[in-house]
Structure 1
C-alpha cells in the first residue's frame, strides 16, 4: 500500500498471537534496538488483513537519527496509553485482539535511516486517511510538530508521494 516503504532496505516483520510474549517476538524477529523507524500493525480478520496502527520511534537531531532508548524494538513492545494509563502493549494488543475478534497481528518495521521517522509516520497515516477517509482503527490522532512542516513538504516532493502532493 505504501510505495514509500519500498525505499528502506533494513526492514522486517513478524506475527503476534494473543498468547505470545511481544518482547520475545521482537527479539526473535531481530527488531533493531538501536535505530529510528516506523512500524505498522495489521490485524487479520479471517483471511483479510487490515492496517490497525501506524507508529514511529526516534527523531532527527542535528541532521542525524536519534533513536529512543531501546530503539524500534522497545517502542513496539513497550507501554502505550489506554484510557489514561500506561499499559504494556502485549497486554493491550491481546485484549483488543480478543474483543475485536482478530486472529493474529502482523507487525512490520522499517529503519527510516536518515529520514525523520516522525515525518515518515505522518506521511503514512495521511496517505491512509486519504485512501480510507479515516484514521487506522488504533490511531487516535494525526499530528505533526509545526517545526516539521517545511521538512514534511520537502520530503513529499523528494520522495514523489503523488497522493500527498498539492
Structure 2
C-alpha cells in the first residue's frame, strides 16, 4: 500500500505542476496578445497628433505669408512655454519654409520633395513609435486630371496615413 500511495502522490504532484505551468503560459499568451493588439491604435494616435501639428504649421505659415506681403520664404519661429527672465517670450527655434505663389508650403513635386515639406513644416524625424514614415507624391493630373489634386501622402508601412494637398494647403485626416 505504501508504494501505491507514493505513486499516487507523485502523479498528483506532476498534475499540479503541469496545471500551474499551463495556467502561467495561458496568462502570458493572453497578456502578449492584449499588448500586441493595442499597438496599432498607439501608432494611429501618434500619426493623428503629427497630422494636427502639420495642419497647424501649414496654416501658420500661410497666415504669416499673407501678413508679410506674400514672400517666397517665411520664417516660422517657435517659442518656449514659459517667459524668460526679462518677462519676454523666449525663442526656441526658427525654420524657413518655402512658399508657393498660392501661399502654401512647397518643394519639388516628387517623394523627396514631400520629405522636404515634412522637414520644413514639422521639423521632427519621419518616425512614429519606432516605425519610419514614408512620404509619397501623387500627381493630381494622373489621378483626376486636375493639377490641384496633387498630394503628398505620409504613411506607415501598413495602416494609417494622412495627405497634404500641395496646391490647396489642405491636410486630410488620418485614414486607415
Same fold at TM > 0.5: no
Larger Rg computed on CA atoms: 2
Give me the TM-score of the superposition, normalised by structure 1: 0.27
Higher share of residues assigned helix: 2
Higher relative contact order (CA closer than 8 Å, sequence separation 6+): 1
